[in-house]
Amino acid sequence: MDIRSVREYLGSDWTAVQERIDLSLKSDIALLNATNSSILSNSGKQMRPLLSLLVARACSGCEATEATVRYAAASELLHNATLLHDDVADNSDQRRGVPTIMSLMGPSVSVLVGDYWLVKAMELILGGSEGDHRVIKIFSKTLSDLAEGEMLQLQKAQNGDTGQDDYLRIIYNKTASLFEAACVSAAISVGASEEYENASRDYAVALGLAFQIKDDILDYAGTESVGKPLGVDILEQKITMPLLGAFAVCPEKEQHIRGLVKSIADHPENRDEIVAFVKGNGGLEYAVAQLDKYVSQAVSALAVLPPCVERDMLEELAYFTAKRIM
Amino acid sequence: MDIRSVREYLGSDWTAVQERIDLSLKSDIALLNATNSSILSNSGKQMRPLLSLLVARACSGCEATEATVRYAAASELLHNATLLHDDVADNSDQRRGVPTIMSLMGPSVSVLVGDYWLVKAMELILGGSEGDHRVIKIFSKTLSDLAEGEMLQLQKAQNGDTGQDDYLRIIYNKTASLFEAACVSAAISVGASEEYENASRDYAVALGLAFQIKDDILDYAGTESVGKPLGVDILEQKITMPLLGAFAVCPEKEQHIRGLVKSIADHPENRDEIVAFVKGNGGLEYAVAQLDKYVSQAVSALAVLPPCVERDMLEELAYFTAKRIM
């Protein structure tokens, strides 16, 4: 799938989102503008506003509304705000193959610019006049989910006791909740029926889980060349789906491997044994099966929506998620 | 002035704010609860909710409303969120005489818990049902002010060109804007007249500026024993009121001293010369005169409000700000 062709298809709606993002971030503080430009020049796939626009158009059969554009822009700002903060939390040097703001300009800029993007996202969600209180509540829950998800992940990494349920909660909070907010707010922005709104939610949550599982698979099985460092999760003591899959297949070694993960800071050389355990016990295949399950769920949810180009594109995006290499 | 006696006077209103803060922060994630408790056990003066409650009661002649309590709690959460992020930005080891979360648990926890407190503050501001859109806008502007203020301060510190106007904008954004939000939201929460609302705003802004100027004076003239490290501003290349005052008295040395501040990272030994310049050219006296001016403005603004114990306490708080030693 070619993301660029989806953007071209969305035409002036896509341009409107980009302009809304630029307008929101504009400040008279030079350091802020310079940092914002640097982030925007490496903005990646922009999956969330893409989803917002496609959902709004699929639900309504029309172009996006002013509110759709605002919520779409807000989702992208919110996503980048969390990346700026996660880079500080994880001390990350690279993202999408280029140096992070954290590594270029230090933790202070990364934290403060993250705060600024978060605030600007909120302003977009609140809207010009009265705002839509339901949408405000949805994004407010997502913000809470994001913060709690990162804290739970940190706690579980410290304790070394992440189970399947913990993992699903963490990836829902970290990723699926914002996919959900982007799609449901878009449905609301065009006055979609409850049925369409629920379909948008089911699609978004399943896609978000699939997206994060794929990310976690790539950490074991990606290629360095596409700009994503590999094997970072284990070094950060994060137990993700591939490892949980191998535990399911080979429970007798679970305790030993969890011990290695927990002491990885002192013994980084143990990473090879952990990776070999995952690969030797079908951990990747297990994770791929889970990924496929959520992709299927996402595609099934779309059946409720009226057939249209946008629905086809949402379906393609789900399959693309399963196949993407970065 | 004894802050404790003000709290005792506020009685159940004060307790309600503390309970609202506890309730808001409560989570099922143990790491989050442990961190929250540690922050709450060292919560300092809690000036912002104190101001909210006093303003609401002075404007209405009654006890605080449910909305007053929510906004008061939100102001305190927001303030602490910014401290958690500032500690990462400034790499601070100590606050109020005890180690920061940043130094105890690392930047990741400080950033993420800061995000959590920010989100919980927003939830309180949004309220249970429809929320008050005017109050939401006020706090939203404050959030933007806070982020922009820190970025402007950082930019000015890098460039070494902070002037009086820049300084006033920075301290308005960093401190006075949240004082303003705390007091104006409190006035709105009790349905105060426009006249009372404006008086509350004028009081809060002047007090906020005074409060930050006092903080900046203490960085030169405080005592280590009260738990605040001294001389930090110069090391962070921050040009504040005492130094600006000395520039006003002795402009011929301004360029030389700005050069020393700008290169302080490479030559920390120059700090002594800068401090001597400030003290030798009446910089502290100049800053104290500015401080007194804003304290007087704050007190004058109160004249509009009806005479009552709360108004007297607001006045005392202004004088207390000028005298406080930490």
Q: Mean pLDDT in chain A?
A: 92
Given an 8 Å threshold on Cβ–Cβ distance, is A143 in contact with B122?
yes
Give the whole-angstrom CA distance, residue A28 versus residue A10: 31
Give the whole-angstrom CA distance, residue A139 versus residue A184: 10
Beta-bridge partners for A95: A98
Strand-strand pairing, A94-95 and A98-99: antiparallel
pLDDT category of residue A44 using cuts at 50, 70 and 90: confident
Confidence (pTM): 0.92
User: Is B242 or A232 the better-scoring residue by pLDDT?
Assistant: B242
Give the whole-angstrom CA distance, residue B109 versus residue B103: 10
Q: What is the pLDDT of residue A228?
A: 60
| Residues B195, B200, B203, B209, CA torsion sign | negative
Given an 8 Å threshold on Cβ–Cβ distance, is A29 in contact with B155?
yes
Q: Tens digit of pLDDT for each residue in A119-141?
A: 999 999 988 666 688 999 999 99
pLDDT greater than 70 at residue B226: no
Given an 8 Å threshold on Cβ–Cβ distance, is B107 in contact with A108?
no
Given an 8 Å threshold on Cβ–Cβ distance, is A112 in contact with B89?
yes
Q: What is the pLDDT of residue A96?
A: 75
Please say whether the beta carbons of A295 and A206 come within 8 A. Answer: yes
Given an 8 Å threshold on Cβ–Cβ distance, is B119 in contact with A147?
yes
**Residues from chain B contacting residue A119 (CB–CB below 8 Å):** 140, 143-144, 146-147
CA–CA min distance A157, chain B (Å): 11
Burial track B157-170 (b if 16+ CB lie within 10 A, e otherwise) = beebebeeebbbbb
Q: Tens digit of pLDDT for each residue in B275-286?
A: 999 999 999 999
Given an 8 Å threshold on Cβ–Cβ distance, is B140 in contact with A155?
no
CA–CA min distance A124, chain B (Å): 10
pLDDT greater than 60 at residue B203: yes
Given an 8 Å threshold on Cβ–Cβ distance, is B112 in contact with A85?
yes
Which of B116, B118, B150 is opposite residue A112, by nearest beta carbon?
B150
Given an 8 Å threshold on Cβ–Cβ distance, is B107 in contact with A112?
no
- Beta-carbon pairs below 8 A across chains A and B: 125
Given an 8 Å threshold on Cβ–Cβ distance, is B85 in contact with A32?
no
Given an 8 Å threshold on Cβ–Cβ distance, is A154 in contact with B108?
yes
Give the whole-angstrom CA distance, residue B59 versus residue B179: 16
Q: What is the pLDDT of residue B250?
A: 95
pLDDT greater than 90 at residue B107: no
Q: What is the pLDDT of residue A160?
A: 92
**Residues from chain B contacting residue A126 (CB–CB below 8 Å):** 136-137, 140
Q: What is the pLDDT of residue B129?
A: 63
Which of B29, B89, B147 is opposite residue A108, by nearest beta carbon?
B89
pLDDT greater than 60 at residue A270: yes
Long-range (24+ apart) CB contacts under 8 A made by B9-17 are B9/B309, B9/B313, B10/B50, B10/B53, B10/B54, B10/B57, B12/B63, B13/B53, B13/B57, B13/B63, B13/B64, B13/B68, B13/B69, B14/B49, B14/B53, B16/B64, B16/B69, B17/B49, B17/B52, B17/B53, B17/B69, B17/B72, B17/B73, B17/B76
Which of A116, A143, A148 is opposite residue B151, by nearest beta carbon?
A116
pLDDT category of residue B132 using cuts at 50, 70 and 90: confident
User: Is B148 or A96 the better-scoring residue by pLDDT?
Assistant: B148
For the ranges A37-51, A134-148, B73-87, B225-239, the lowest mean pLDDT is seen at B225-239
Q: Stretch B186-197: mean pLDDT, rounded?
A: 96
Q: What is the pLDDT of residue A107?
A: 85
Mutate to test the interface with B, among A86, A115, A120, A122 (most CBs of B within 10 A): A115
Which two tokens mark A306? 């009226």
Give the whole-angstrom CA distance, residue A175 versus residue B174: 32
pLDDT category of residue A177 using cuts at 50, 70 and 90: very high
Closest-CA residue in chain B for A124? Answer: B140
Give the whole-angstrom CA distance, residue A185 versus residue A139: 8
Give the whole-angstrom CA distance, residue B318 versus residue A314: 59
Give the whole-angstrom CA distance, residue A222 versus residue A239: 17
CA–CA min distance B133, chain A (Å): 6
Mutate to test the interface with B, among A26, A29, A158 (most CBs of B within 10 A): A29
Q: Tens digit of pLDDT for each residue in A217-265?
A: 999 987 665 556 678 899 999 999 999 999 999 999 999 999 999 999 9
**Residues from chain A contacting residue B136 (CB–CB below 8 Å):** 126, 131
Place of tokens 């949550």: A205
CA–CA min distance A319, chain B (Å): 33
**Residues from chain A contacting residue B130 (CB–CB below 8 Å):** 133
Beta strands in B270-318 (DSSP E): none
Q: What is the pLDDT of residue A2?
A: 83
pLDDT greater than 70 at residue A117: yes
Q: Stretch B195-212: mean pLDDT, rounded?
A: 98
pLDDT greater than 60 at residue A94: yes
For the ranges B112-126, B129-143, B231-245, the lowest mean pLDDT is seen at B129-143
Q: Stretch B251-256: mean pLDDT, rounded?
A: 96
**Residues from chain B contacting residue A31 (CB–CB below 8 Å):** 151-152, 154-155, 158
Q: Stretch A190-195: mean pLDDT, rounded?
A: 96
Give the whole-angstrom CA distance, residue B324 versus residue B326: 6
Which of A31, A111, A154 is opposite residue B85, by nearest beta carbon?
A111
Given an 8 Å threshold on Cβ–Cβ distance, is B119 in contact with A144?
yes
Please enumerate residues of A whose Cβ is less than 8 A from a Cβ of B. 27, 29-32, 85, 88-91, 107-109, 111-113, 115-116, 118-120, 122-123, 126, 130-131, 133, 136-137, 140, 143-144, 146-148, 150-152, 154-155, 158
